């Protein structure tokens, strides 16, 4: 008897980012260099534009294709920015952050220990997408996070008329 077709393919999870980029082939190479992503497959048009590509980072897949404005597929460069940040969990965020910036990613938020217990930072890739990355470094209770968050916000935004 034949094995039934899996509704979620092997190696995939229920949610996967699908990025639209300008310069798909270059993006694939950047994600390999910056994040250590592995290319699973790609489908290209005769002119080289990517119809679809699949990559893997850690245990998760993500997809990308070139922009096709006539079909409603616009890159962050065409839209003049992105409201979306893709998050990467990693065992060694310092190494990954250094690798990404060495490959050409621009710092959006410097890597630092955060009040919620993660070492966390954000970069923008050359294609306009934002990537946050973190390693969890400290387990905190919700109460501890709330108190630390209030203290951090008070330092960042002191009440008017009071020195910081």
Domains of the chain (ranges; CATH) run 18-156 (3.10.180.10)
Q: CB under 8 Å to 126, separation ≥6 — which residues?
A: 26, 30, 104, 105
Residue 14, pLDDT > 90, answer no
The predicted model gives 36-65 an average pLDDT of: 96
Is 90 exceeded by the pLDDT of residue 164?
no
* pLDDT greater than 80 at residue 57: yes
**163 — pLDDT class (breaks 50, 70, 90):** low
Work out the average pLDDT over 123-141.
96
Task: With residue 128 as reference, give the H or E element that holds it.
Answer: none
| Average pLDDT across the chain, whole number | 93
Q: Is the pTM of this model over 0.85?
A: yes
């Amino acid at each position: 008897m034949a094995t039934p077709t899996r509704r979620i393919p092997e190696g995939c999870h229920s949610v996967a980012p699908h990025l639209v980029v300008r310069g798909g082939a270059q993006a694939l190479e950047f994600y390999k260099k910056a994040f250590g992503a592995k290319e699973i497959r790609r489908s290209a048009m005769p002119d080289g534009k990517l119809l679809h590509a699949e990559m893997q980072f850690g245990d998760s897949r993500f997809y990308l294709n070139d922009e096709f404005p006539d079909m409603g597929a616009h890159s962050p460069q065409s839209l003049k920015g992105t409201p979306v940040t893709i998050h990467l969990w990693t065992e060694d965020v310092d190494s990954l952050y250094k690798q990404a910036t060495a490959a050409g990613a621009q710092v959006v938020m410097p890597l630092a220990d955060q009040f919620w217990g993660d070492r966390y930072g954000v970069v923008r890739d050359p294609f306009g997408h934002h990537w946050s990355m973190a390693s969890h470094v400290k387990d905190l209770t919700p109460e501890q996070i709330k108190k630390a968050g209030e203290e951090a916000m008070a330092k960042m935004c002191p009440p008017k008329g009071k020195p910081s």
